[in-house]
Structure 1
């Protein structure tokens, strides 16, 4: 297995290196062919070996208006928008540019499957925090590798680049939960538009029937959106078009847009892939934009950990203590506020290390209590997925791993910003509440628990996996049978199980203790078993049966009883990497709330948490767009308030 990985990566790296070396020797007419490969390393065209005018001076005490702890999905938006408004801002990031710490793999959409598996052997990238969960009862006792981005861009540099918005009911629930109508759909949606620029599909590389015309209406007008690119990828797998037939056969309807408050149904996915060169577009685009604009009031500190927030006697944040990679400590003073944007694991860790959190935990580690907030690190929501894999008479990712000729051909196509590497590997999505025939074994308590979700909130999501996933130990672990494989992945998007995060020590260098508690709620178990039966029925539709090359390969047809199906799920489930709500937003009378509707931390002054950890709950589907929108909204609140 290891040798196959080395072989795959060596061929791809070799092709990339060759293109970079010969590009200057090629005639001018060949320039477009190699521009995509150049972009693998160059992001928006310039390798960021130096931050130039926006580079922070490491190791020296300095003073700012705002200090943003974490240069991830939300943090880069916050830093850029506040600097754009004229404030003096620092962004402090523990990693560096992912083009440097995860070259090629982070930039090529089709390589997003590498080093994200559940095995601890997958935790090898310098751009990964290398988190592992505590032993999970609901996951067969496994300690699961939980990839998260340790780099500028954060997990927008690691995710599967899927873009959509929540349902109308989810927006309403957010507003009701936090007591603030500005989170209703009509008020919140403009902030979704602010981050992104939409590009129409390239119909020379993608069939017209795998797109929807009119998506432009869901995004800002040309020239008015943000630097993150969104659109349809330049490749659609044959498997996705057959899965569409399966969706239709079982009664799923086509949804015209996943950005208008509706998700129930299916369609092809929008992604944050830059269409022109088929490369990932992440929140690091805000850093590139700041550099291009010469924003000297924004300073970016890389390879630097915020070890704690400092406070004065009135519990007003005064700044942060920073620990450099070399072990040097220095202070960045914040005259106005500290913005915590470390993600669902690092944000609660930083609050606890700074004296904000459950009092028993703080006293256990002899951390002086600044604010007793029992909800810090609690209320963790996450999505999990799993799914049966079948051999198919279609080309899939499996072919590339074992066939060097096909790998070389795919690499050649990618030079033209097309082919399998130009896609994130998940081209089509579907959502539904499970039909009545699959709910027969739901207990009354399960139905009651699921009733808390609005009528437009799906219970399950389907993702077309263009390859074999198995136990998720490694997504490069394709079966060596000579056949191609495909998977329907099913995700629980109305999860009932809740996890938690806590600290392991007083050092920011030590990973927090992560306990997602996946599949511990009986309701989640009931839905998961029913979901497997539903996915098998999709596989059994006439059109999908016509492209099968044998019976179900994993888990296999002998896994048939509820108990056997549940055991298979426990052994193979994987996070969808949507951890959230560990510093949840809520009202003053909610003792588990950590921040108010403007993301201000209760019990102290001058600290906000802006990232997925601040969600009051996890909306259905993929949270990337909502993280961006929340950052845009809170930045706008701060700027308009002049604070």
Structure 2
């Protein structure tokens, strides 16, 4: 999701130099080797995990290819609160969707991480591992019990660890340490308490039911209201680059190539089991004369993300034959589902004016105040900036008898999975074209549909690998999605009408929301204002090995291809009913074990 601050120019001045380790190549012409055991395309969330785990064996040579630069010294990446300023900057692919019929023809920005760490370096840090139900449903879809929660739990515990919040306070009753692991990604509850935190918890406990208090979502039940857990340790962002890649960047069997795009995969031959794709073509510009190739002796792994992975597959002749032929690409492997099934969580910002002056609105309006707040973070890793802009969240199942569910199968994975989400923000969070009012104090409740039924696509706009593809998330194009969003908006108003809010805050719907009285009005408001939470998934979906649908099997191998695997959120067979970065870490950790087993590493 894109959160635009008025102070973006100031923040950019605060960037630190982007220092590159001596072990990192900045051009494909610098490579001294042209063969590696394993080539990982994409140095983002999944790619960083794979680079770490696969180079644990010193005899295995690994090349990571990343289109962007190193992100570790970017101040706005490091500061959790400033993650909201990163969309549209040099660390973002800055994609834009196609015109969305469900949004009255609007296009929306689509932020995706560009640089080492990928989207884990530019997201708003929420760490949700997904309900037990979502993993069990994946096991059912793929026909592989190894994906059920009891079996993937080890990878969740291996990927992250719970650390103390920045303020070091007693967090008893705000998190359950017993359900956390000992991995490299640091996770914590908020390290700077906001005035609304207590109100959210009090309201949850008072209302109960669908708004029950949940001590720790990562215990497996993603329903209720509770404190947000984020990838923050010591007041700083903990992302895939800093947690997984940088600690091993000096390994002699690991090369990292940045500022370089993969233009396509090249078929090197054919086996009895299908075409072999172990040659990777590279380039830094659209100039076809400035290309080179590297070869994977064991395996090529696509971790280019939900947008990049289907784009590279299609450019390589892997995808729907008719579509490829229409662009003049020779089909080498006909897989109809490449690029289909794009799904994301639609989101609407609901604004309320409040009587309290305790919100952080003035920090966004006053560069001097912002500067002192940033200075506090730089000197002591304390204060407002140690967290993302929200400390609390809630996940709700639709009320019994909801019209949204009439005539359809429940799209949520099970009773521990929600249909909608509420995120409570202690200020006016400007999304899209909206700007913060010059005066007043505000509260934002972000409402999202986390079990959407709308499905879109990623397709090629041209055969130019440097041209951005056509991204159609098909936001709010089903009856379920729009009715569920309306219910979420009504839930936000019900929650804020509870007694705890009436003493000091007294929230009153602001702007066009104030006039959205009926369900139809709310639906119109949603279509006029919705974006996504930037949780895309599903463009190279897993399915059972025998299924004619899907793109990869349960081992994440591209169906019909040899020596080619996909490891990123594009393989998700359904979208988790939560924020998805933790699920990517889990998938990547399991993929590393699958690869080690396959080659006896």
**What is the TM-score with the length of structure 2 in the denominator?**
0.92
State the secondary structure of the residue aligned to 2:296.
Answer: strand
Equivalent residue of 2:409, what SS?
helix
Output one character per residue of 1:47-93: Cα deviation in whole Å (capped at 9) or x when no partner: 76232235476225611011111110001111221111231010000
Aligned match of 2:125 in 161, 165, 179?
A: 161
Query: Are 2:84 and 1:113 aligned?
Result: yes
Q: In the alignment, is the contact (CA less than 8 A) between 1:389 and 1:555 conserved in 2?
A: no
Question: What corresponds to 1:96 in structure 2?
Answer: 69
Compute the displacement of 1:459 (Å).
0.8
Length, aligned pairs only: 583
Specify the alignment match of 1:58 in structure 2: 28
Query: Which residue is equivalent to 1:78?
Result: 50
Matched, 1:149 2:113: yes
Runs of 4+ more than 6 Å apart: none
Q: Which runs of 5+ in 2 are unaligned?
A: none
Structure 1 residues 127 and 257 mapped into 2: Cα distance closer, same or farther (>3 Å)? Answer: same
Counterpart among 587, 594, 601 of residue 544 in structure 2 = 587
SS in 2 for 1:163: coil
Call closer, same or farther: CA 1:256–1:5 in 2, change over 3 Å.
closer
Structure 1 residue 502, shift from structure 2 partner = 0.4
Query: For residue 337 of structure 1, what is the aligned residue in structure 2?
Result: 299
1:425-574 matches, cutoff 5 A: 425-436=389-400, 439-442=401-404, 444-445=406-407, 448-450=408-410, 453-469=413-429, 472-473=431-432, 477-480=435-438, 482-548=439-505, 551-574=508-531
Q: Is the 2:166–2:381 contact (alpha carbons within 8 Å) kept by the matching residues of 1?
A: no
* 8 Å CA contact retained: 2:412, 2:451: no
Determine the C-alpha separation between the residues in 2 that align with 1:546 and 1:441: 34
Give the CA deviation at 1:345: 0.6
What residue number does 1:296 align with?
252
Q: 1:210 & 1:498 partners in 2: Cα distance?
A: 38
Q: CA RMSD in A?
A: 2.2
CA distance in 2, matches of 1:561, 1:454: 30
Corresponding residue for 1:26?
Answer: none
Q: Distance in 1 between the 2:555 and 2:545 partners?
A: 12
Q: Is contact 2:426-2:443 (8 Å) kept?
A: yes
2:180 matched residue in structure 1? 218
Q: How many angstroms apart in 1 are the aligned matches of 2:167 and 2:90?
A: 37
1:52-451 alignment runs, 5 A limit: 52-53=22-23, 55=25, 58-59=28-29, 60=31, 62-86=34-58, 87-99=60-72, 103-116=74-87, 123=88, 125-202=89-166, 204=168, 206=169, 208=171, 211-212=174-175, 214-220=176-182, 225-226=183-184, 228-251=185-208, 252-275=211-234, 278-285=235-242, 286-291=244-249, 294-314=250-270, 315-325=275-285, 327=287, 328-392=290-354, 393-404=356-367, 406-414=369-377, 415-436=379-400, 439-442=401-404, 444-445=406-407, 448-450=408-410
What whole-Å deviation, never above 9, does each CA across 1:240-283 have from its counterpart, x for those lacking one?
Answer: 322222333332222232222211112112111122xx121111
1:92-150 alpha-carbon deviations (Å, 9 max, x no partner): 000001246xx32222111122253xxxxxx3x11111100000011221111111111
Q: Is the 8 Å Cα contact of residues 67 and 319 (structure 1) preserved in structure 2?
A: no
| Counterparts of 2:35 and 2:464, CA distance in 1 | 24
Does the 8 A contact of 1:127 with 1:151 survive in 2? yes
Tell whether the 8 Å contact from 2:286 to 2:464 is kept in structure 1 after alignment: no
Q: 2: CA distance between counterparts of 1:408 and 1:352?
A: 46
Report the Cα distance in structure 2 between the residues aligned to 1:326 and 1:363, rounded to whole angstroms: 22
